[in-house]
Amino acid sequence: MRLLPPAPGGPRRNQPGHLRPCGPALLLLLLLLLGGCLGASRAAAGSRRPNVVLLLTDDQDEVLGGMTPLKKTKALIGEMGMTFSSAYVPSALCCPSRASILTGKYPHNHHVVNNTLEGNCSSKSWQKIQEPNTFPAILRSMCGYQTFFAGKYLNEYGAPDAGGLEHVPLGWSYWYALEKNSKYYNYTLSINGKARKHGENYSVDYLTDVLANISLGFLDYKSNSEPFFMMISTPAPHSPWTAAPQYQKTFQNVFAPRNKNFNIHGTNKHWLIRQAKTPMTNSSIQFLDNAFRKRWQTLLSVDDLVEKLVKRLEFNGELNNTYIFYTSDNGYHTGQFSLPIDKRQLYEFDIKVPLLVRGPGIKPNQTSKMLVANIDLGPTILDIAGYNLNKTQMDGMSLLPILKGARNLTWRSDVLVEYQGEGRDVTDPTCPSLSPGVSQCFPDCVCEDAYNNTYACVRTMSARWNLQYCEFDDQEVFVEVYNLTADPDQITNIAKSIDPELLGKMNYRLMMLQSCSGPTCRTPGVFDPGYRFDPRLMFSNQGSVRTRRFSKHPL
C-alpha cells in the first residue's frame, strides 16, 4: 500500500522540513544543533543511526502462558536476541501503563491514574504537559527520526472533549491511531488527523491485519535519509477477543491454567479479593475458559504481523540495523483467587509482562533476570538514538548496557507499582449487598475494581530476596507482603509474620518511591549495599509503623 502524507507538522519530502542526505561535516553540525543525539566521533564517521520498532500488545500476560501461541515471535525476536524474565508495569491498567511507556515516568509523575478523561487519560492536560516530552517527540525534534504510530494510543484518544480525532500528538511524522479502546471491526482511525471508518469485512477491516499492512507500507515508502522509529500497538488480546476467521477454531482443547491460585479464596488479602465467591460458578468458569481460548486466537494474527514485519525489514536490508522490542501494557488473570477476568490487581499475573528485544550488538538466545519496567523503554530507545538521558526527567533506566552484555553492571533492585481504583461512590444496583464504589462487576456480583482498590507496592529482587510489599489506601490501611521464592503464586500474605524491621524498611522505601522523580527513582533499594535507613523516620510516638496515605482524587 502507498503511505499517506505525514501528519501535520511532520516532514514532507522535498520541503525544508524533510532531512536530506548530507556529508559527515554537515551531519555533525546538524546533530549538534538537534541536541547531540550521537557522539561526535560516530557522527563524523557518518555511520547510520539504528532504527527502532516497538510492538505493543494489549492485556497480554506473561505468567499464565500469554506467549505460548506466539511461536514466530519467540523465534524471530526472542531467540534472535534477549528475553527479560522479570519485566513489570508500574500500573496494571492500559492508559496509565501506556503513559508510562511514552513518558518513561511512574504514574505519580505523569498523573494518568485510570482509563477516563477525568483520570487524565488523553486529556487536554496530558496533551499540554506530557505529550511534548514523550520519547517519540524527543526522537523527532532532537534526533531527526521519522516517527510512525499505528494502533491503540490511549483509551480516551479521539474523545470530543480531548480534541477529537483531529488531534495528532507532537512528535509523530505519521499517525494512524485508533479512536478510543481496542476493537477488531467497526472502528475509526485518525489518519494524520482525518477520520477513516472501517466496517466488518475481514479482508480490509480486521484491525491487526490493517496495522500490519500500514506498517509495511511505511517501510516501503518512508525516507531513506533518516532513521525511523515505529510503534505498532495491536488490539490483541484485549476484549472483545475477535479472532481472524482462519483462527477461530484453534485451541479448542485449551483451558485457562489451573495453577495453585486458581479458583481459591483470597484469604488474608484486601477486601476486594476476599469478596470473590469461591468456588466460582460453572458459568463463570466456562466464560473465563472461553475468554482464555479466544485471547490466544487473536494473538495468532499478531504473530503473523511480526513475521511480515521482520521479513520486510530483512528484504529492505534494514533488519541488521534495527532494534525490535515486543511487550504488553499489562498482564491479565483468568480465575486466580476466584476473580473471573481482568487486570488491575497487584499480583504477578497482572503486573508482569513479556519483553523480548533483538537488534545490533545483542547476542541471540539470551535471557536476562534483571528487574526491568516499562518506564525503561523510553530511556533505552533514546539511548539507542544517542540522546543524552540527563536532559530528560524520566524515571526509568536505559536497558542498552544489559542488551549489549555489560558486566559488573550496577542495577536497581526494586520497582514501584501503583494504582488508583475506579468506581463511583454509590451502590451497584445489580449488587445491592456490596458496599458503594465497586465496579467491573460480573453477574454473580464478583467485582474486579472499586474506588478504594487503591494501592502501592515495592516489587524487589536481589540475590537473597524476592519480595513484594503493598499498602492499600482504605480504612484497614491493609498491607500485603509476599515471599515469591517460597510462594510464587502469592497465596500466603506474610505481613504479620515478617521481621518488623524489614517491614519498616519496605514501608519507608515505598514512601520514597511514591514521591520520587527522575534520578531519585533510581536510588538504592532496601537490599542494595548503598541503602541508608533511619528507623526514627518510621515510627510514631505510639510505636506503630507509619504508612503513607494516598490521594483519593485523580492526580
Catalytic positions, written as ranges: 94
Q: Where are the alpha helices (DSSP H) in 278-403?
A: 282-315, 348-351, 377-385, 400-403
DSSP per-residue codes, 90-152: SSSSHHHHHHHHHH---HHHH---SSSTTTTTT-HHHHHHTGGGSHHHHHHHHH--EEEEEEE
* Contact (Cβ atoms closer than 8 angstroms) between residue 291 and residue 461: no
Rounded distance between C-alpha atoms, residue 553 and residue 525, angstroms: 28
Rounded distance between C-alpha atoms, residue 25 and residue 27, angstroms: 5
Rounded distance between C-alpha atoms, residue 57 and residue 237, angstroms: 7
Q: Which three cell numbers stand for residue 28?
A: 555533525
* Contact (Cβ atoms closer than 8 angstroms) between residue 376 and residue 396: yes
Give Cα 143 to chain centroid, integer Å: 24
- Beta-carbon contacts of residue 496 (< 8 Å; ≥ 6 apart): none
Distances (CA, A) of 292 to 235, 328, 488, 499: 15, 16, 21, 39
- Beta-carbon contacts of residue 314 (< 8 Å; ≥ 6 apart): none
Rounded distance between C-alpha atoms, residue 216 and residue 218, angstroms: 5
**DSSP assignment, residue 72?**
H
What totals of helices (H) and strands (E) does the chain contain, helices first? 15, 20
Dihedral of CA atoms 435, 439, 440, 442 in degrees, nearest 10, equals: 30
459-476 burial: b if 16+ Cβ within 10 Å, else e? bbbeeebbbbbbbbbbee
What's the half-sphere exposure (Cβ side, CA atoms, 13 Å) at 16?
Answer: 0
* Contact (Cβ atoms closer than 8 angstroms) between residue 105 and residue 112: no
- Residue entry with cell 487524565: 120
| Helices 94-103 and 377-385, packing angle to 10 deg | 30
Residue 219's H or E segment, with its range, is helix 207-221
Q: Which three cell numbers stand for residue 258?
A: 489451573
Rounded distance between C-alpha atoms, residue 309 and residue 523, angstroms: 38
107: amino acid identity, one letter:
P
Rounded distance between C-alpha atoms, residue 63 and residue 333, angstroms: 9
Of 403, 417, 414, nearest to 522 (Cα)? 414
Q: Which three cell numbers stand for residue 141?
A: 525534534
